[in-house]
Amino acid sequence: MNASQGRSRDLILGIDVGTTAVKTALFTAGGALLRAHTVGHATARPRPGYAEQDPGDWWDGCLRGIAAVLDGVPGGDVRSVGLVSQVNTHVFADDQLRPLAPAITWQDQRCAAVARELDGRFTAEDKTRIWGGPITLDASRLVCRAAWFGRRHPELWARTRWVLSPKDWVNARLTGTVRSDGLSSVGLVDGSGDRYAPEAIALVDGLAERLPPLAAPASPLGPVTAEGLGRVPAVTGTMDAFGTVFGSGTTEPGRALLSCGTSLIVAGASRQSLPNRGVVTFPRTDGLYVHAAPTQAGGDALSWWSRARSLSVPEVLDAAACAPPGASGVVFTPHLLGERAPLWDSAVRGAFLGLGADTTDAHLSRAVLEGVAMSGRQALAAVEAACGVPLDTVTLSGGGSRSDLWAQIFADVLRRPVARLTARDSGAVLGAALLGAVGAGLHPDITTATRAAVLVDRVFDPDPARADLLDPLYDVYTSSYEALRDVHARLDAWRGAQD
């Protein structure tokens, strides 16, 4: 029996501290799901543009999830723990890991003015030299958050010992060790991904000493000392998007993924890198570059629309199924909290275009699904350009993939087959568990682990007639941004004047 097969009772635990919930799952070393548990948590929006969470909710969700999936499981059977989490969500904590304020989530736009100021200090050439590509320092970057926090709350900044992502904060409480990884440290590391970029962290006085040491995602972190897991070894872990990369098999060149969770994340893998402003290009790992385009709203757009109409998500999906493809010419832009990739514009907001007296709830519901898919097509184009090769193999995961209708819409809008993964909404937590398995020696590397564990549930082929019908609406979608850019900027200025 080789290492990748393991013992018959080798079990691996994965935890994903996501935007809407903590997902905990128990797998075999070969990736078969045995048990799963989800604990939801809230996002507070106390002011326009704000999006905050209570780190205590993450901790509670982790403990409850661990207890639920390990109930009755012999302690010696669990061989490893791996965590991933939402990133560009930041906890300002003291030396006892006590949060000094609510966590600022990746959706939060309060730092937009500071971000524009800091971003303006660098030319495109500077950015390529420092970070390996022409990135945008937007409102979600840690340096912008730290600058804002220090200016707005100097007394709390003085008490801050650590600025941590959710998984780093949870890992520190589980193991007593504070550490992060280069992949999660978006906008902080240099092109190598192994160390912090001096010119980035120098933007904020005192930031350097508040950042955790860096290590590889699968590197052993230490045994879990918190109750429920005994001395099971944990690993450093990484961002949820990379958990999905691992959990979807996007570890070989020419593959792409769409993860439709709270946000829509599009990523692709290639052996070359042609970075562009629209995507985040991660440092080369094992000869492979991963280029990612995280948007602001995927499933969150559907959740918003269901709340706005006082309907359940299934009711919205049922209504959308009653409308024709193209929603009779209604186009939705899902920029509800500004937009990240590929626009990187905190001022833009969502809109319905083409409303008429004959527009119904069904049309609007379908337009929401199609609009998110169009944002995916726009992001995929930027990712494909960064990869320098076509990405014909596209996998789909995340909670949005549970809908056959939405999966088919993605295929039609993208004009390419979409393979839905068996682990539909647990791709990130599977990736977390596989990282833990690699760290514990159950698999030699993450590529081998994903080859054994990632399975496809169904392939959705695009319908040529529907794809032809949707193409002109996609052109409307993309051109509307430039046409309304000044309008959105003026509205943003109006909102800012109300603060």
Q: Which residues of the chain have pLDDT under 70?
A: 1-8, 226-228
Q: What angle do CA 85, 380, 141 make, to 5 degrees?
A: 40
Helix (H) or strand (E) holding 352: strand 351-353
- Tokens 């647990």 correspond to what residue? 426
Instruction: Measure the CA–CA gap between 205 and 197, rounded to whole angstroms.
Output: 14
Looking at residue 321, its pLDDT comes to 98
Q: What domains sit in the chain, N to C, each tagged with a CATH number?
A: 11-243 (3.30.420.40), 249-426+457-498 (3.30.420.40)
What DSSP letter does each residue of 28-97 carry, written as one string? ETT--EEEEEEEE---B--STT--EE-HHHHHHHHHHHHHHHTTT--GGGEEEEEEEE-SS-BEEE-TT-
CB atoms within 10 A of CB 482: 8
Provide the angle, in degrees to the nearest 10, between the axes of the packed helices 112-119 and 142-152.
120
Best CA proximity match to 267, nearest among 287, 286, 285, 246: 246
Looking at residue 229, its pLDDT comes to 74
Q: Which two tokens stand for residue 279?
A: 């995507």
Looking at residue 3, its pLDDT comes to 39
By the 10 Å C-beta count (0-12 exposed, 13-18 middle, 19+ buried), 117 is classed as middle
CB atoms within 10 A of CB 42: 10
Instruction: Measure the CA–CA gap between 22 and 15, rounded to whole angstroms.
Output: 7
Three-state SS annotation for 384-432: HHHHCCCCCEEEEECHHHHCHHHHHHHHHHHCCCEEEECCCCCHHHHHH
- Indicate the Cα dihedral angle 18, 19, 23, 28, nearest 10°: -30
